[in-house]
């Protein structure tokens, strides 16, 4: 089973294994890369440096049919074609969602060009289209979120009062296992009164925003596009990147075990959520 959903600011359209909007094929797996190569004088072979991935090209073949009352219709074909390409215009950014038997994935794309029609049997047009993704990584469609600042119960019946009773514990840290082999950006949303926001990983890397958060406000740090927003209760916001300390690093979730700790400069722990999407080089 394969299907894609293409959406832009005007709406969305789905191509599956059924007409009138049929997905024939898609290649979301192949990906080009470029590796820095160095060669010293009299060196046998070469020394490889960092490998960087190119923008992703996603070739796709689709078919659009005109069906009306169970019969082919040229008028319906033209109407369906017009409807489909409303959501696939090269000047409009799009999101491509791809679903197969093992998962659902998304990627931001643009259309390389509006393709020519290829007449098929009946009132059916076929199209070979190329989507271009400036960022080559597919994202899992499902957000993975961890909650900080909640209370986890620490007792069960029967229990003893000797020497003390521990009723609960504030959760100040979270452990995230990144098993994709790709450094992954994440988002922090802090929703409690704070003197500042500082998120630190187990390596000692941190992001500190030296900006108070008042009641009704929330602070959002996005390590994907390296932005910091202070959002007011009415939804208005200001960027607060200028409040990020100079010794901060917009670190990402490295592969393996990540332990993140949040500090807000208050006697009570910050209430916040940390969310990310798994990344994939091919699907």
pLDDT in tens, 254-268: 999 999 998 888 877
DSSP-assigned letter for residue 270: P
The model carries a pTM of 0.83
Task: Spell out the residues 6+ positions from residue 21 whose beta carbon is closer than 8 angstroms to its own.
Answer: 13, 14, 15, 62, 63, 64, 80, 84
Number of continuous H segments (helices) and E segments (strands) in the chain:
1, 26
Tokens of 278: 């798994």
pLDDT tens, N- to C-terminus, the chain (283 residues): 899 999 999 999 999 999 999 999 999 998 888 788 888 898 888 888 888 889 999 999 999 999 888 888 999 999 999 999 999 999 999 999 999 999 999 999 999 998 888 887 778 999 999 999 999 999 999 999 988 876 555 544 444 444 444 445 556 788 999 999 999 999 999 988 889 999 999 999 999 999 999 989 999 999 999 999 999 999 999 999 999 999 999 999 999 999 999 888 887 777 889 999 999 999 9
Specify whether the CB–CB gap between 125 and 161 falls below 8 A. no
92-105: pLDDT as tens digits: 999 999 999 999 99
- Please state, in angstroms and rounded to a whole number, the distance separating the CA atoms of residues 178 and 279: 10
Task: Spell out the residues 6+ positions from residue 11 whose beta carbon is closer than 8 angstroms to its own.
Answer: 86, 87
């Amino acid at each position: 089973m394969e299907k894609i959903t293409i959406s832009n600011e005007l709406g969305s359209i789905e191509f599956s294994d059924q007409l009138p909007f049929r997905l024939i094929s898609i290649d979301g797996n192949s990906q080009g890369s470029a590796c820095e190569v160095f060669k010293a004088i009299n060196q046998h072979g070469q020394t490889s440096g960092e490998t960087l991935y190119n923008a992703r090209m996603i070739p796709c073949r689709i078919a659009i049919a005109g069906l009306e009352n169970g019969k082919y219709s040229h008028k319906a074909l033209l109407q369906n074609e017009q409807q489909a390409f409303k959501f696939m215009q090269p000047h409009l950014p799009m999101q491509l969602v791809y679903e197969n038997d093992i998962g659902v994935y998304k990627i931001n794309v643009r259309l390389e060009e509006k393709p020519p029609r290829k007449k098929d049997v009946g009132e059916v047009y076929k199209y070979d289209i190329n989507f271009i993704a400036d960022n080559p990584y597919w994202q899992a469609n499902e957000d993975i979120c961890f909650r900080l600042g909640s209370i986890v119960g620490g007792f069960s019946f029967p229990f003893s009062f000797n020497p003390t009773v521990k009723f609960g514990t504030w959760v100040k840290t979270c452990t995230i296992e990144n098993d994709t082999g790709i450094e992954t950006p994440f988002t922090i949303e802090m929703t409690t009164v704070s003197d500042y926001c500082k998120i630190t990983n187990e390596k000692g890397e941190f992001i500190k925003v030296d900006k108070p958060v008042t009641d009704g406000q929330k602070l959002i740090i996005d390590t994907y596009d390296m932005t910091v927003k202070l959002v007011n209760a009415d939804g208005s916001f200001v960027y607060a990147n200028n409040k990020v300390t100079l010794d901060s690093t917009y670190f990402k979730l490295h592969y393996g075990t990540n332990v993140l700790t949040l500090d807000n400069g208050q006697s009570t722990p910050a209430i916040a959520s940390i969310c990310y999407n798994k990344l994939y080089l091919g699907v």
